[in-house]
Chains A and B, each alone.
Chain A
Amino acid sequence: MTHLLAIACREIEERAFVLVAAIAIALVSLVVLVIPHGTFAERRGGVVILGTFLGVSFTWALAVILGATLVGRELSDKRLSFYFTRPVSASAIWFGKLIAAVVLLAVSFAIVHAIPLGFEVHEWRTMSTMTRPFAVAAILTIAIVLMLGSHVVSTCVRSRSPILALDFAALLLAVGFFIATTEPLALAFAVPPASNVAGSYIAAFLIASIVGGAWQLSRGRIDARRNHRELSKFVWSMVAVAALTMFAYSRWVLAAKPADYTTVAGAQRGNIVWLHGTARGFYPEFLMNTATGAFVPAGRSHFESGDVVAVVAPSETLQNAKLAFEGGFQRPSDWTLTITRLARTPERIAAFPLSGRIETAGVSSDGSRAAVVADQILTVYDTRSGHALASSRVGWVSSASQIEFVTPDVARTFIADEPTHTLTVRDFDVRTHQWTAVAGPIRLMNPFLYRVAGNRLLTRGSGEVELRDLRDPKVLQTFPVGRDDGIWIMRDGRQAIYHYGRPSSVEIRRDGVRQRVVGFGPEVESVRVVDEIGDHRLLIVTHSPSRNEGYDTTTYILDANTGVLSNAMPHVLAAAAWPGSIGIADDAADRALLHRETGKIDVIDLRTGAIGHPSS
């Protein structure tokens, strides 16, 4: 330790002139104060801006210079014998020099930033959203990375060894591996794990170059080429270990499945539940068939019909990965549409590329057809060949629009128009390329407030809910509903009206006449009917404020005939279909019960009310 400190002090003494340079640079920014332009406050701001710019530039430039001369210069000048002919270990030489460089860097940084950071706190706050400690830590961390990188480059280049070509190849390999590791993570929006990978690469490099410095001097001593060889071996070994570990880690992350959720939530349409939550350090989304337990990743958007799901996901391209990292995934250049039947064993039916801005899509229940609205054009594809069978311009459609297949050759479009808040239903015949009007325009309270269940269409206007049979588009029934109420149309024709605000309640009506009301305590903020079990029991979910997670959910079974609440399931969310304020039973056989705090997933049989696992 004494030797290390002696070397550090000697090195600081030798390079103390950089501190004088730092003082000079720090004073330069004060020149702004004497410029006869603007108010004093403006000039004070100018000092902060110029001082910060000069300070950061000086610190980083100094880091590069200190790194390049850490040992590289003495090695090439053959002056390291000065240390090696004295009783000091290679580690003491390296760490003494390193400590000296870090001290010089930190002190210089403090000097050059004293004026911009200390001159006026207010200017700093208005310049940046970063806190001062974070900014200081970031600048110094970058400086240290630059210094160590410069040391490695200097050692390698100054040796003039042919190994430099191998270094370059190793660098390309490391970059390639990094891309191969992070690209799939970016495409899966696994940003925290991708950050972990990047952080691990940087940490591996830092550790490799810090420990590697002692290693190179210990094994290479005064021989520049041997120093280079040993440093390269050490750095690339560490980077290789990090790269392989991170590759395995990324594959482990991406192999997450619904059983790995530690928190979960979701929504369900038919038997397909869209799951999202936390698993393996990120937020994977899946589509799962509640009847079979089979699942696939949900991609960026998804559409389902029966047990067939169509997933639109960004193609695995570097451009898409970049867009994902930037969070600007609005217009990726390439998509892949994958159609899978979620039978007990998932069966991939087709996968083919798409391009453009995809607004909505649909898939036939046999998986043979897919319809996609992209860039205002509806195209129907034969999924097995990937060929377009027919297309037609539909104009601008909102994301609330849907496509269903009446038959594999007839695509039914539910076009929700946002400016007019109307829904128009039309059929497009693939064989004749002809459109047939089915219903509408129907007024909606907002473009999302409609629900399709087979041939039945439920729409919500400003004060009423209408039920239609699309085979005969006249209105079957109209139900008056309050603004803060939702409605569930039961199989026997009764209506369950649920009140959202406090006090929450569920009211059972037949032909508009109240039969009974079930109230909830003041802790319940809202209640919602999710589905119907058998012909008289309702699956309901209550929401209560929660200190831990914003709100808590409890799922109950309500007997509509007696008004008795049973089977209270705290912290469980029965996966509902959207929109939440109107409901009608669809063809679902089960409903997912999501244990929000543990990530466990159960299903409830909608005929019997039995609860089990998705695959049972």
Chain B
Amino acid sequence: MSGDAIRIDDLTVRYGKRTAVDGVSLSVAPGAVYALLGRNGAGKSSLVRCMLGEQKPERGTASLLGQEAWTHRTSLMARVGVVSEEADAPPSMRVDALARFSASLYPRWNRAAFDERLARFSVAERARFGDLSKGQKKQVSVALALAHEPELLVLDDPTLGLDVVARKSLFEEVIADLADRGTTVFLTTHDLAGVETIADRVAMMADGRIVLDEELESLKARFRRVRFAAARPAAVGNLATTAVRSWGTGTEMIVTNYDPASPVDAAEVAPMSLEEIFIAVTDEEEGAR
């Protein structure tokens, strides 16, 4: 049994002839914040469903906290908090009823923490879940997912459709909780700016495959935007590039193996945001196809 909080081996999911997840393997260390990035249809949600034991993969296994997810889903869910992509609680249920119902299913339930989060999100306890805004629904889902103090938190695109304030609040909530307890977090998202502040490690998925899986720091360290004044720069040396763009007499390159110890001469070197790296990587994958 490995010590990983999440371990996925050769996972494959097919829908008819279409392969949604194609032999994916990855692992997440305990206490890490792992962000899985990918465009719509990249296979993230299918991967999450398999990981949560909601869907049986065609091939391969997904284990959480050392237990196979499909077989041990029931017992695992007592140790895992989940915020689904779509808020799936029954619309007619009031928030307090939802909390009571959830509390009855878990071996432990921190009602005070739940109430405190609701208060922080300004969500009324007597409100019907269906009457809440999209952001409030997500906030209630997060509060419910954290109330039983899970060892692992899985968030499937938690900021989808949220405004900037709600997004910021959501990540802050997660971060605050992480700071408190060191919970392992696995999230899939489009919100790269939010992830950049909390993730330890990121993976990128394209066409059902993992095309990048790396510590965020090292990823950001090796990706650079390099601009040369010359159209045909002589000092490229061993730089690996993923995109080269020329204009007038100048050239711009996305370098994927930048080493600060070996600066590039006659060039303007700029760090890249996670969003820029994501675009560069996914564009390259698309180009390769």
Contacts and interface: CB of A to CB of B under 8 A. Distances in A.
A326 interface: no
B54 interface: yes
B80 to A, nearest CB: 8
Interface in B114-140: none
Interface residues of A, number: 22
Interface in B52-84: 52-56, 73-78, 80, 82, 84
A221 B93 contact: no
Contacts, number: 64
Interface string B82-101: 10101011101100010001
A89 B102 CA distance: 14
A88 B77 CA distance: 8
B78 A84 contact: no
Interface stretch (A2-10, A176-184, A256-264, A584-592): A2-10
A357 interface: no
A611 to B, nearest CB: 71
Interface string A13-27: 110000000000000
Contacts of B84: 81, 85
B95 to A, nearest CB: 14
A536 interface: no
B218 interface: no
A221 B82 CA distance: 16
Contacts of B111: none
B88 A81 contact: yes
Contacts of A226: 56
A87 interface: yes
Contacts of A84: 52-54, 73, 77
Nearest to B97: A13
A82 interface: yes
Interface in A1-51: 2-3, 6, 10, 13-14
Contacts of A223: 54-56
A86 B79 CA distance: 10
B53 A221 contact: yes
B164 interface: no
Nearest to A9: B101
Contact of B54 (A2, A79, A81, A88): A81
A82 B74 contact: no
A85 B49 contact: no
Contacts of B101: 6, 10
B105 A86 contact: yes
A84 B53 CA distance: 8
A223 B89 CA distance: 17
Contacts of A13: 97
Contacts of B89: 82
Given A221-B54, A226-B56, A87 B106 contact: yes
A164 to B, nearest CB: 15
A3 B54 contact: no
User: Which of B56, B73, B86, B102 neighbours the largest number of chain A CB atoms within 10 Å of its CB?
Assistant: B73
Contacts of A88: 74, 77, 105
A45 to B, nearest CB: 40
25 contacts: A3-B104, A3-B105, A10-B97, A10-B101, A13-B97, A14-B93, A78-B88, A80-B88, A81-B84, A82-B90, A84-B53, A84-B77, A85-B52, A85-B77, A85-B82, A86-B102, A87-B76, A87-B77, A88-B74, A88-B105, A221-B55, A221-B56, A222-B54, A222-B55, A226-B56
Interface of A: 2-3, 6, 10, 13-14, 78-82, 84-89, 219, 221-223, 226
Given A84-B52, A223-B56, 10 more contacts: A14-B92, A14-B93, A78-B86, A79-B88, A81-B82, A85-B82, A86-B102, A86-B105, A87-B78, A223-B54
